[in-house]
Amino acid sequence: MKYRPYIIDTMLVILGILSAGMGLKGFLLPSHFIDGGVTGISILLADVTHLPLSILIFVINLPFLFLGYRKLGLGFATRSALAIGGLALVLAFVKFPDVTPDKLLTAVFGGVFIGAGIGLAIRGGAVLDGTEIAAVLVSKRTQIVRVSDVILTLNVFIFIAAIFVLGVEQGLYSILTYLSASKMIDLILNGLEQYTGMTVVSAKGEEIRMAITQNLGRGVTVYQGKSGYGKDGHINSPREIIFTVATRLEVPLIKREILKIDPAAFIVQQSVDDTTGGLLKKKKH
């Protein structure tokens, strides 16, 4: 179906808006907790100025949406503007139940709903919080600072302000909300099966390749290389470099098979944030 991807993206964004709205109106706002980013700034300003939160969220996000338009394109900016506008409308007109007065449950599950909303919106190609746009642009410009570092630094200042405006207890619970939301975003974007990339350098590359592909049902990529530093300090015999991607649960099994074939094999592991294509699921024989 030609329009199926667009329909799926739209549904993800709508579900994200409703989830974030539930997290805010059903949990955080009744207990005077905040989240990080523009949402947190908007809640603080709404508490101080008594202006409607829905208006503040949209207005404060406008400069970030303009940045997104300039740097990331009209399509992304339009989707994000509609998503943020939709969240503002939900906050203004949709009623959600006040779920629980328990502060710990409010902090944890408010973060879960907000994180799920942000993650679903990102899956749909939009954002619900403009600070993510700014963080990406700062990270690209500096080439040193990571996106997560930029967001964390901004949120440190937001939560310090929350402690002064809302009180120490609300500020500390808000930090817990932020941590809960961050973990939920990771879960939505990366899934339960987080992948690990494994690079293997061995003189017995063909045997290792056969073990991984035939015995374990995993796809591999093979590079041709050479030993860079032998006993005489010079380039030596050829080596086959095997690269594969597996779930964290499968890594110990693969390592055991590799070391059984070549105890001297050099194995490097690194976390993989996302994957597309290839043989990611175990092949059935």
Distance separating alpha carbons of residues 42 and 135, to the nearest angstrom: 18
Residues 185 and 263 in one domain: no
| Boundary (domain end) residue, out of 165, 190, 215 | 190
CATH code, domain with 223: 3.30.70.120
Write phi, then psi, for 20 (nearest 5 degrees).
-65, -40
Among the candidates 190, 208, 223, a domain finishes at: 190
111 and 44 assigned to the same domain: yes
Q: Report yes or no: 131 and 64 within 8 Å, Cβ to Cβ.
A: yes
- Rounded mean pLDDT of 175-202? 82
pTM for the full model?
0.73
Say how far apart CA 103 and CA 31 lie, in whole Å: 7
User: Which has the closest alpha carbon to 108: 51, 184, 37?
Assistant: 184
Q: How many domains does the chain have?
A: 2
Round to whole Å and give the CA distance between 148 and 48. Answer: 28
Question: Of 190, 205, 228, which residue constitutes the final position of a domain?
Answer: 190
Domain interval for residue 14: 4-190
- Chain segment 206-252, per-residue pLDDT in tens: 888 888 888 777 788 888 777 666 554 555 677 778 898 887 767 88
Whole-Å CA distances, 19 to 13, 120, 169, 262: 10, 9, 25, 50
Looking at the structure, tell me whether residues 177 and 253 fall in a common domain: no
Give the pLDDT confidence score for residue 284 in this predicted structure. 45
Kindly state the average pLDDT of the residues 59-72: 86
> What integer is the mean pLDDT of 20-31?
93
Residue 181 in tokens? 């939301």
pLDDT for 225 = 74
